[in-house]
Structure 1
Amino acid sequence: MTLWIAIGAIALISFAFKAAGPAVLGGRQLPARTRSVLALVAPALLAGFIVTALAGPGWSALDLTLLAGLSTAVVLRHYRAPMPVTLLGAVAVTALLRLWTG
Structure 2
Amino acid sequence: MNAAQPWALIAAVALLGFVFKAVGPAVVGGRELPPRVRSVLAVTAPALLAGFVLVQLAGPGWSGLDPAVAGGVAAGLGLRLCGAPFPVVMAGAVVATALLRWAF
Could you tell me which runs of 5 or more consecutive residues in structure 2 were left unpaired when the two chains were aligned: none
Cross-structure match for 1:32? 35
Task: Tell me which amino acid in the other structure corresponds to 1:74.
Answer: L
The alignment's C-alpha RMSD in Å is: 1.2
Matched, 1:75 2:88: no
Matched, 1:14 2:29: no
Matched, 1:99 2:96: no
Q: Distance in 1 between matches of 2:49 and 2:32?
A: 26
Does the CA-based 8 Å contact 1:3-1:49 persist in structure 2? Answer: yes
Does the CA-based 8 Å contact 1:56-1:63 persist in structure 2? Answer: no
**Alpha-carbon distance, 1:36 to partner:** 0.9
1:46-94 alpha-carbon deviations (Å, 9 max, x no partner): 1101211121123212110111011101211121111110111001111
Task: Tell me which amino acid in the other structure corresponds to 1:6.
Answer: L
Q: Distance in 1 between matches of 2:60 and 2:74?
A: 21
Does the CA-based 8 Å contact 1:56-1:62 persist in structure 2? Answer: yes
Count of aligned pairs = 101
Identical pairs, percent: 55
User: Runs (4+) of structure 1 moved beyond 3 Å?
Assistant: none
Cross-structure match for 2:60? 57
